[in-house]
Copies of this chain bind each other. A is one copy, B any other.
């Protein structure tokens, strides 16, 4: 059994999702970057995200996202692959994730210039 002694890698069921947990998970810039990346690519290995934090910090963010139901992680040999739970999120909170990612992309595209 590959790497399963380490951590159960629990994923919440769809009807256990809490919108407030999802919002909290997405309110962090690093985590939103992870989600944004996954929204473009379907699945990525952990170390391949364009974020600038320590590996242990990245693990922490993955756990927050996973326990909120935003991402799903699976083992594959030495790597851990991460994917968006887009279908599950859409089943429980229709249109929410798309609206949020789109809005965030738009905000990044037109960042507010500081006045004066």
Contacts and interface: CB of A to CB of B under 8 A. Distances in A.
A112 B15 contact: yes
Overall SS of chain A's interface:
helix
Interface stretch (A49-57, A70-78, A80-88, A98-106): A98-106
A99 B20 CA distance: 13
A9 interface: no
A34 interface: no
A32 interface: yes
Contacts of A16: 112
Interface of A: 15-21, 23-24, 26-29, 32, 92-96, 99-100, 102-104, 106-107, 110, 112
